């Protein structure tokens, strides 16, 4: 962890959840006690169909909500898209952009991710910009180079710790149960912090929360959350179980 940075644990529900599942958010709110509130910020990013409901359910809990994606556009004839302003209107504080599933399945380029991050900032949302390498890229010794290139192409100009979160999610670890070693995570997060320093200036980069994501679960959270420059987690499957999500949050305390 970075002692000067308040950690954030964000849950990405992905394409999971019906109306009945909003109880998960309620259970998380019940378990977010005074001790946890003093130690860590929480956010839940449900599917768009549940965003307003989750935001209402979580009013007064100090748990934020976020969207899982947003359009590069503010409004207009873009069927099926959702703008950052719409997310904000539904109660969101964050917007995940550049997740590997968007980059891979929807062909999103670094330039597109940057445009989405800028759209989120314009709507006064904090973008959670995701970066990460594939298994082949890591095995070829290209992981650091790949992630640095993603950062250079995806990070909005002039961002600060108040307007940007970066999530490192090695593609090969997402949903597989595999995780990099603590040493690998430490190396990558140190490199991300340094690259942000070159892009934004050291002062701004020093305040950016760097989350780790990729098969984060209660059994490995303590080790991962105690790695230098890891300022929280972007949690996938485990965020769909309130007690597991809260256990990961406790690992940041």
Enzyme catalytic residues: 99, 169
Cα 45 to Cα 234: distance, rounded to the nearest angstrom: 10
The residue to which tokens 């890891």 are assigned: 230
Cα 158 to Cα 138: distance, rounded to the nearest angstrom: 30
Element holding 240 (H helix, E strand): none
| Surface-to-core class of residue 223, CB atoms within 10 Å of its CB (0-12 exposed, 13-18 middle, 19+ buried) | middle
Residue 60 phi, psi dihedral angles, 5° rounding: 85, -5
Cα 167 versus chain centre, distance: 5
């Amino acid at each position: 962890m970075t002692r000067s940075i308040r950690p954030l644990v964000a849950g990405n529900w992905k394409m999971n959840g019906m109306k009945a599942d909003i109880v998960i958010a309620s259970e998380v709110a019940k378990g977010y006690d005074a001790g946890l509130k003093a130690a860590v910020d929480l956010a839940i990013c449900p599917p768009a169909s549940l965003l307003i409901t989750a935001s209402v359910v979580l009013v007064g809990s100090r748990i934020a909500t976020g969207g899982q994606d947003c359009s590069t556009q503010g409004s207009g004839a873009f069927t099926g898209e959702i703008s950052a302003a719409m997310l904000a209107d539904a109660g969101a504080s964050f917007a995940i952009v550049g997740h590997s599933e968007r980059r891979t399945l929807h062909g999103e380029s670094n330039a597109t991710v940057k445009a989405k991050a800028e759209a989120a900032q314009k709507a006064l949302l904090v973008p959670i910009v995701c970066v990460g390498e594939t298994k082949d890229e890591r095995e070829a010794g290209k992981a650091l180079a790949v992630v640095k290139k993603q950062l250079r192409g995806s990070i909005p100009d002039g961002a600060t710790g108040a307007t940007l979160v970066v999530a490192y999610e090695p593609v090969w670890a997402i949903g597989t149960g595999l995780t990099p070693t603590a040493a690998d995570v430490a190396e990558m997060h140190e490199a991300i912090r340094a690259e942000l320093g070159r892009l934004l200036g050291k002062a701004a980069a020093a305040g950016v929360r760097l989350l780790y994501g990729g098969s984060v679960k209660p059994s490995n959270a303590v080790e991962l959350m105690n790695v230098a420059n890891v300022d929280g987690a972007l949690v996938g499957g485990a965020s769909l179980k309130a007690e597991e999500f809260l256990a990961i949050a406790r690992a940041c305390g």
